[in-house]
Amino acid sequence: MKQFTSVKDVTDLRAFVNEAIRLKADPFAFQQVGKNKTLGLIFLNPSLRTRLSTQKAAANLGMNVMTMNIDKEGWALEIKDDVLMNGTTVEHIKDAAAVIGTYCNIVGLRSFPGLKNKTADYDEEILRKFIHYCKVPFISLESATLHPLQSFADLITIEEHRKSKKPKVVLTWAPHIKPLPQAVANSFAEWMSCTDVDLTITHPIGYELDRKYCGKATVLYDQDEALKKADFVYVKNWSSYTDYGKILSDGQGWMMTNKKLELTNKAKVMHCLPVRRGLELSYEVLDGPDSLIL
Amino acid sequence: MKQFTSVKDVTDLRAFVNEAIRLKADPFAFQQVGKNKTLGLIFLNPSLRTRLSTQKAAANLGMNVMTMNIDKEGWALEIKDDVLMNGTTVEHIKDAAAVIGTYCNIVGLRSFPGLKNKTADYDEEILRKFIHYCKVPFISLESATLHPLQSFADLITIEEHRKSKKPKVVLTWAPHIKPLPQAVANSFAEWMSCTDVDLTITHPIGYELDRKYCGKATVLYDQDEALKKADFVYVKNWSSYTDYGKILSDGQGWMMTNKKLELTNKAKVMHCLPVRRGLELSYEVLDGPDSLIL
Amino acid sequence: MKQFTSVKDVTDLRAFVNEAIRLKADPFAFQQVGKNKTLGLIFLNPSLRTRLSTQKAAANLGMNVMTMNIDKEGWALEIKDDVLMNGTTVEHIKDAAAVIGTYCNIVGLRSFPGLKNKTADYDEEILRKFIHYCKVPFISLESATLHPLQSFADLITIEEHRKSKKPKVVLTWAPHIKPLPQAVANSFAEWMSCTDVDLTITHPIGYELDRKYCGKATVLYDQDEALKKADFVYVKNWSSYTDYGKILSDGQGWMMTNKKLELTNKAKVMHCLPVRRGLELSYEVLDGPDSLIL
């Protein structure tokens, strides 16, 4: 695999998941694989789980890891081609990525969307250019539109907890005070659409995700209806895709509570974290017996 | 030992110190101990000595280290329970600590006091919650009220330089322009109170430390009187505990100088660093033959 | 070698370059050399290439690396001697360097000039004091006036691409919108002056470098004249040394283009990066077949 940016980069998803589950049981089985190999982790945005878990995984494989908050510890990046760089950007992405590629055997990059310009964000310009110029195998640590490591981990969690052959999985929008990317929701929808589950997506009117990630998912504006008989409930806020980057609703009534979970088939509850407690989900759900958030 | 937050977490202090002294003489004796173990160092505040020395110690033990400035590289933490998180905090400490605990075998945390609310600071809410939720062995890298790694190192230094069975140790307040935590002073008093030394604490009126850390220490407002026949002089500023977090005095006359040291029994001089030169101690003392600051 | 701050620290430059070329071909040949050794990399300013390449090199030698952005993760440093530290600086360089030296076997430091006070910058006060107080072998990761690691890498590149015994090397000033240090230019001139090349330096009037770095170099104000028959063209902006730290010219006509390269002997083009594309060099040059920037 030369790049991991989407479920589309995975040739055999079932084998991929099974291998991950085996590796979880024996995390030090491949300590020689990474000998003399260097992983570069480049962050344009904050990261806790992705940062630490990827470092830990690399250490388990015997790799050397170099982590860099490139905008703070290095130089502000220019993304556009053929511009006269007489402004605030100090280094072109083509030069930075190429240099990083010469020092690393694998590179990971986190780059959030600006949420101002849909076309630019969904074009994944930063991701594409970084991959193109670094010239080494690449892992997305969350891009403008997708978060494949998160969704891969979510799929493993569902595999480990599924009780039926084709569980009902509900992705439900939740309230938030800030406009968030659609990346986790897009990615979750995309991965679930490639898996043997019955996927329902529910959100207020105006929060429709880009259809290309949603496969055959049922989309409902009625959260209660959507939650019925759910086996897994994945809670996540995202800003509007159609009215791009906007918050259209205060989300009154959309917070996940124990009351709402009564509608489900004793569903397990998931969230990618960080979570705004008392806003996206109630404390009782997050700390309850059906929470899989950790 | 499941946690190291205070001298109270040490079962046998003498054995603990002796083991440290042996390890200093042979720092690579236990390089296999840390194999496949990960230490997470989480900083909410700046750190130089604690940061580097802990990393170095972990490397000597063969551990993998992951260092994170969580507020800058991750997310702003919510500490209070059961609040609606619709403000500036992005992640609850219970979620962040729990996640970090899953990636690490040991976790260290640095968390300074706010110096606004005595009850909150002395309740050590951040420390307690982090320990509770991370669920792995924990090391304090300085908390709101104590700095045990510093005091442990100070005790080792005193052991290495003591000339009598029960040396006189003086903890003296020093001037500063900013309100500083009481943590180093509290901790030094606490550790010295568990050791076979004669401890005197001296400071201007109003700078009394919380008595619970001071054991049988003599407290004097007259620095000259306190310094008489001292074998060790530990210099440190702290803000008022009673008039909490305040600077009550410009400290005129409290700076440690060679002149003052003439009152002592050729005392060795200590300071935890960073030190404001020319304000807390004179250059001549810091750079003199009796300085043990390095 | 106890310190690497300038070409003057290199005893036998030819042997030094040859050893580097051999090591490039077999980067893991000395993995035991660094066992149980710690390299501390201390940054007062941003760094991408120097940061990552030095980390990588240390990993190849089996060393433990501790990287620290000291002003952000530690404390603001006081540089002046014998001052009363009652201002914004928290720790004296003599204490910080000394402490870092006790944790590390080798220390590297990056410290840019202020570009306000020529005497202070060219006195290299920070560098000198850090070396003096850390008391361990020292590597400059770019100081106020020199960038020896960069120039050493540049020399290796020239060695690898030279076609004649004594190639013509041209260091040419380029336009920029911010006042930059003279360090890379000084250092390049200094290293080239110790090598068997024919060095020409070209820049607008007023951008003369400190002669002490320039050896027997020819200095021309006419860039076209300078470029004639060049085998290597090294492009770099710097601010004025005589009218210290100032930008004297908008540099109209000084950007390196393919048109200008026609004057040369099919010259290879170099730049230390980061580069302002479209300002210092044209995209066509940077991305062209004669670019050695990577």
- How many CA atoms, within 13 angstroms, populate the side-chain half-sphere of residue A96? 29
pLDDT at res. A249: 87
B293 contact residues in C (CB cutoff 8 A)? 95
- Whether residue B278 contacts residue C83, with contact meaning beta carbons closer than 8 Å, is answered with yes
Q: Note the pLDDT tens digit of each residue in B30-42.
A: 999 999 999 999 9
A96 contact residues in C (CB cutoff 8 A)? 48, 274
- Superfamily classification of domain A31-140: Aspartate/ornithine carbamoyltransferase (3.40.50.1370)
DSSP 8-state assignment for residue A76: P
Cis, peptide link before residue C113, omega less than 30° from 0: no
How large is the average pLDDT for residues A199-203? 98
CB atoms within 10 A of CB A196: 10
Strands B91-92, B168-173: parallel, antiparallel or unpaired by DSSP? unpaired
- Mean pLDDT in order along chain C per 10 residues (294 residues): 95 97 96 96 96 97 97 94 95 97 98 96 97 98 98 98 97 98 98 98 98 97 98 98 96 97 98 97 97 92
Q: Note the pLDDT tens digit of each residue in C111-131.
A: 999 999 999 999 999 999 999
Nearest CA in chain B to A66: B66
Q: Is C139 helix (H, G, I), strand (E, B) or coil?
A: strand
A99 contact residues in C (CB cutoff 8 A)? 48-49, 52, 273, 294
Nearest C-alpha neighbor of A236 from the set A168, A290, A174, A152: A174
> What band does B229 get if pLDDT is binned at 50, 70 and 90?
very high
Name residues whose C-beta falls within 8 Å of residue A251's C-beta, 6 or more positions apart in sequence.
A173, A174, A175, A176, A204, A237
Number of helices (H), then strands (E), in chain C? 11, 12
Nearest C-alpha neighbor of B156 from the set B257, B236, B232, B46: B232
Strands B3-4, A268-270: parallel, antiparallel or unpaired by DSSP? unpaired
> What band does B71 get if pLDDT is binned at 50, 70 and 90?
confident
pLDDT at res. C163: 96
CATH 3.40.50.1370 positions along chain B are 31-140, 148-286
- Whether residue A268 contacts residue A211, with contact meaning beta carbons closer than 8 Å, is answered with no
pLDDT at res. C71: 87
Q: Is C150 on the interface with A (CB under 8 A)?
A: no
pLDDT at res. C1: 74
> What is the rounded distance in angstroms from the CA atom of residue A241 to the CA atom of residue A133?
29
Measured in angstroms, the CA of C116 and the nearest CA of chain A are apart by 22
A47 contact residues in B (CB cutoff 8 A)? 73-74
> What is the rounded distance in angstroms from the CA atom of residue B123 to the CA atom of residue B100?
23
Nearest CA in chain A to C48: A74
Nearest C-alpha neighbor of B141 from the set B159, B162, B126, B119: B126
pLDDT at res. A80: 95
Measured in angstroms, the CA of C275 and the nearest CA of chain B are apart by 27
> What band does B294 get if pLDDT is binned at 50, 70 and 90?
confident
pLDDT at res. A162: 97
Q: Note the pLDDT tens digit of each residue in A119-155.
A: 999 999 999 999 999 999 999 999 999 999 999 999 9
Residue A1 has pLDDT above 80, yes or no: no
**Alpha-helical regions (H) of chain B:** 13-25, 49-60, 70-73, 93-103, 118-122, 125-134, 148-161, 183-193, 223-227, 258-261, 283-286
Nearest CA in chain A to B77: A274
Average pLDDT, chain C: 97
How large is the average pLDDT for residues B20-33? 96
pLDDT at res. C85: 97
Measured in angstroms, the CA of C177 and the nearest CA of chain B are apart by 30
Strands (E), B14-135: 38-43, 64-69, 77-78, 91-92, 106-110
> What is the rounded distance in angstroms from the CA atom of residue A182 to the CA atom of residue A207?
10
Report percent pLDDT > 70 for chain C: 100
Q: Specify the CATH number for B148-286; select among 3.30.70.120, 3.40.50.880, 3.40.50.1370, 3.40.50.800.
A: 3.40.50.1370
> What is the rounded distance in angstroms from the CA atom of residue C130 to the CA atom of residue C133?
5
C-alpha B206 chain-centroid distance: 21
Characterize B54-87 residue by residue with b for buried, 16 or more Cβ atoms within 10 angstroms of its Cβ, and e for exposed.
bbbbbbbbebbbbbbbbeebbbebbeeeeeebee
Q: Is A270 helix (H, G, I), strand (E, B) or coil?
A: strand
Strands B64-69, A232-236: parallel, antiparallel or unpaired by DSSP? unpaired
Strands (E), A85-129: 91-92, 106-110
For the CA atoms of A228, A233, A238, A243, the dihedral, rounded to the nearest 10 degrees, stands at -20
Q: Is C59 on the interface with B (CB under 8 A)?
A: no
Measured in angstroms, the CA of A93 and the nearest CA of chain C are apart by 10
Q: How many residues does chain B have?
A: 294
Q: Helix axis angle, B13-25 relative to B148-161, nearest 10°? A: 80
pLDDT at res. B191: 98
- Whether residue C226 contacts residue C220, with contact meaning beta carbons closer than 8 Å, is answered with yes
- Residues A99, C275: C-beta atoms closer than 8 Å: no
Q: Note the pLDDT tens digit of each residue in B119-164.
A: 999 999 999 999 999 999 999 999 999 999 999 999 999 999 999 9
How far is residue C249 from each of residues B248, C158, C173, C255, measured CA to CA in Å? 55, 30, 11, 12
pLDDT at res. C294: 85
Q: What is the largest CA-CA distance in chain B?
A: 59
CATH class of C149-286: alpha beta
Q: What is the largest CA-CA distance in chain C?
A: 59
Q: Is B156 on the interface with C (CB under 8 A)?
A: no
pLDDT at res. A47: 96
Measured in angstroms, the CA of A1 and the nearest CA of chain C are apart by 24
Q: How many residues does chain C have?
A: 294
**What ipTM was estimated for this complex?**
0.95
Q: Phi/psi of residue C122, each to 5°? A: -75, -10
- Residues A279, B98: C-beta atoms closer than 8 Å: no
In SS3 terms, C220-255 reads as ECCHHHHHCCCCEEEEECCCCCCCCCCCCCCCCCCC
> What band does A23 get if pLDDT is binned at 50, 70 and 90?
very high
pLDDT at res. C249: 87
DSSP 8-state assignment for residue C209: P
CB atoms within 10 A of CB C64: 21
Average pLDDT, chain B: 97
Nearest CA in chain B to C94: B287
**Alpha-helical regions (H) of B92-145:** 93-103, 118-122, 125-134
pLDDT at res. A294: 85
A75 contact residues in C (CB cutoff 8 A)? 46, 48, 274
Q: Note the pLDDT tens digit of each residue in C78-112.
A: 999 999 999 999 999 999 999 999 999 999 999 99
CATH 3.40.50.1370 positions along chain C are 31-140, 149-286
Which amino acid belongs to residue A259?
K
DSSP 8-state assignment for residue C218: E
Fold of the A153-286 domain: Rossmann fold (3.40.50)
